[in-house]
Amino acid sequence: MKHNVITIILILLALDSFAQSRWAGAEVFAEASVTVAHGDYAPLWLSANRYGVASVRKLSNYERFGLIRPIEADSGRTWRLGYAADIAIGFGHERTFMLQQAYAEVAWKVLRLTVGAKEQPMETCELPELSSGAMMLGINARPIPQARLDIDWFNIPFTKGWWRWKLHGSFGLTTDGKWQESWHAPATRYARHTLYHQKALFWQFGRKDIFPLTYEIGIQMATQFGGTSYNVRTTRLNDNQPIDIKHNTNLRAFWQALTCQGDDATDGTNPNSAGNTLGSYLMQLKYHGKKWQARAYWERFFEDHSMLTVQYGIRDMLIGGDVSLPKNPFLSAAKLEFLCTRNQSGAVYHDGTHNIPDAMAGQDNYYNHLLYAGWQHYGQTIGHPFLTSPIYNADHNITFRNNRIRAWHVGLSGDPSEEWHWRALLSFTKNWGKYEKPFDDPMCQQYFLLEGTYRPRWAKGWQGTLGLGLDHGPLLGNSQGFQLSIRKTFDY
């Protein structure tokens, strides 16, 4: 630890000297964080929804250094430029060296091209520090390198701004293949060189400059495809013995990922689509007040075709509301969320056959997949952290063992002064495991966080954050701990 402190001091001095050169809008930063906990793991809210840079282990620390120029620094210009180089060195982590962000992006009017690994925000999400997460694309795992094209909000002709669209699409490559190979238990499934595709379309109705209510609806989808799957077991191939399957990575594979077509070697006579395809519908209704704002939102996740429509009902969802209050020293914002993933199209799954043509497309098995290591990156779920990430599996089987849950979540934050900021998270979950292997009895687990941040006026660019976490319940065990982070930024 002494060596780490000396290293940080030397780097801070070097960055301070480096700060003499100017890049308008850029920011150089250095950050150190330490987590100490009593229990099997660190409390959930000390590691979750931090883009995978924090460890779930009870003793860990990291040092992080970076140069970031957000594209918003060129707001108001026709051509805009953004870039970042962001690295972390972790101790008590699954990997010692982490290239957290490395990207460049260029924009022209409403078009933007981003190439590299970037911490993308959650769609249709306000107050992310108070949120429990998102079902499909959250902020829980490390970013995936990709080439992404965005078309930002643009007005539909002849609607005078009352109807607007935005959309994006990307192709990328997951970087955790070597980690999966080294971490997985012998003879269990893992994958390497997995490709990644994502797309989304959103509509917005309303003009807040005329009427304070706006409504937004959209759909987003993603696919894991290509690469090689190892130790795959299925009765359709090789009598349930482990085999390796190399998937197509040609242009046709990219087209099938884009259009949700194709099939896998394990599909048999009932082809679905190539790779692991999933997505979600999102909606929000927002009130734009002069001094305060309020919002109601909803997300419905789907793992395959069975929940693309409402034929199985709408029983699983993430639904919530939040409010941003006028400036006061007590409470700045509040959020309430409810999450249910128990149904998953029902408990029965049966493909249609010649003798029994009726098909029942239940047991969606959220985040899991036969060929790929599921909806995770470096062991952390890409989606919602309440669906227990594989990194918590003591036997190193890369699978989601708990994806049927019901949860309530509350988030509060305040700003007593310009120097102080606090937030509190309180979550109650009930967990049933998964259809294939349910828990003997449902497990109730609670997660709590109280965190304070101090930005002293007398030390420009410095920030200190202390978080106290508490978990209680049999799912992840009882744990108590704290996390201390110190950050220094140099603006240009």
User: Which whole number is the average pLDDT over 394-418?
Assistant: 96
What's the pLDDT score for residue 142?
A: 96
Residues above pLDDT 70, as percent of the chain: 90
Q: Bridge partners of 57?
A: none
Cross-strand pairs, 102: 85, 117
Q: Which of 406, 489, 418 is nearest to 443 (CA)?
A: 406
Instruction: For residue 22, name the pLDDT band (cuts at 50, 70, 90).
Output: very low
Q: Give CA angle at 201 (371, 382), nearest 5°.
A: 40
Rounded Cα–Cα distance for residues 49 and 337 (Å): 15
Residue 185 scores a pLDDT above 50: yes
For residue 87, give the 3-state DSSP assignment: strand
What's the N-to-C CA distance of the chain in angstroms?
A: 31
From the number of C-beta atoms within 10 Å of its C-beta (0-12, 13-18, 19+), residue 366 rates as buried
Q: What is the pLDDT of residues 312-337, one digit of tens each?
A: 778 899 999 999 999 999 999 999 99
Coil, strand, or helix at residue 4?
Answer: helix
pLDDT tens digit string along 265-306?
777 666 778 889 999 999 999 999 999 999 999 999 998 777
Calculate mean pLDDT across residues 178-182. 95
Averaged pLDDT for residues 200-221: 96
Read off the pLDDT band of 346 (50, 70, 90). Answer: low
pLDDT at 269: 64
CATH for 109-454? 2.40.160
Determine the distance from the C-alpha atom of residue 337 to the mean position of all C-alpha atoms in its chain, rounded to a whole number: 17
230 vs 218: CA distance, rounded Å: 35
128 has a pLDDT exceeding 50: yes
Q: List, as one string, the DSSP characters of 201-260.
A: EEEEE--TTTSSEEEEEEEEEEEEESSEEEEE-BTTBGGG--EEEEPP-SHHHHHHHHHT
In this prediction, residue 264 carries a pLDDT of 80
CATH 2.40.160 domain range(s) in the chain: 109-454
- Residues 58-68: tens digit of each pLDDT: 999 999 999 99
Nearest to 393 by CA among 480, 474, 476, 479: 476
The model carries a pTM of: 0.90
The residues facing 155 across adjacent strands are 164
- Residue 268 has a pLDDT of 67
Higher pLDDT, 228 or 358: 228
CB 169, CB 219: distance < 8 Å: no
Closest CA to 230 of 398, 434, 378: 398
Residue 140 · residue 133 · CB < 8 Å: yes
Phi and psi based region of residue 139 (left: phi greater than 0; alpha: psi -120 to 50; beta: remaining):
alpha
Please say if the pLDDT value at position 21 is more than 50: no
Please give the residue that has the higher pLDDT: either 235 or 195.
Answer: 195
Closest by CA position to 196, among listed 218, 216, 177? 177
Nearest Cα residue to 192 out of 232, 222, 220, 221: 232
Q: Which residues contact 396 (CB under 8 A, 6 or more apart)?
A: 183, 184, 185, 188
Q: Is the pLDDT of residue 44 over 90?
A: yes
Predicted pLDDT at 99 = 94
Signed CA dihedral, 64, 463, 7, 83: sign only: positive
As a whole number of Å, the CA-based R_g of the chain is: 23
Q: Which residues of 292-316 are buried (b: 16+ CB within 10 A; e: fewer)?
A: ebbbebbbbbbbbebbeeeebeeeb
Cα 349 versus chain centre, distance: 29
Q: What is the mean pLDDT of the chain?
A: 90
Q: Calculate the CA dihedral of residues 487, 72, 141, 59 and round it to 10 degrees.
A: 0
pLDDT of residue 354 exceeding 70, the answer is no
Listed residue (40, 74, 70, 45) closest to 57, CA to CA: 40
Question: Which amino acid makes up residue 393?
Answer: N
Mean pLDDT value across residues 239-260: 90
List the beta bridge partners of residue 281.
219, 300
Measure the CA–CA gap between 100 and 374, rounded to whole angstroms: 21
Contacts of 115-123 with CB under 8 Å at 24 or more apart are 115/146, 115/147, 115/148, 116/84, 116/145, 116/146, 117/142, 117/143, 117/144, 117/145, 117/146, 117/175, 118/84, 118/143, 119/51, 119/143, 123/200, 123/202, 123/218, 123/220, 123/282
DSSP code string of 283-311: EEEEEE-SS-EEEEEEEEEESSGGGSSST
Q: Which of 274-283, 342-351, 352-361 has the lowest mean pLDDT?
A: 352-361
The count of C-alpha atoms lying within 13 angstroms of the C-alpha of 316, restricted to the half-sphere facing its C-beta, is 27
Confidence at 19, pLDDT banded by 50, 70, 90: very low
- Residue with the bigger pLDDT between 273 and 154: it is 154
The predicted structure's pLDDT at residue 8:
55
> Among 173-177, 238-242, 313-317, 369-373, which stretch is predicted with the lowest mean pLDDT?
238-242
Q: What tens digit of pLDDT does each residue of 94-104 get?
A: 889 999 999 99
Contact of 301 with 280, CB cutoff 8 Å: yes
Residue 20 has pLDDT above 50, yes or no: no
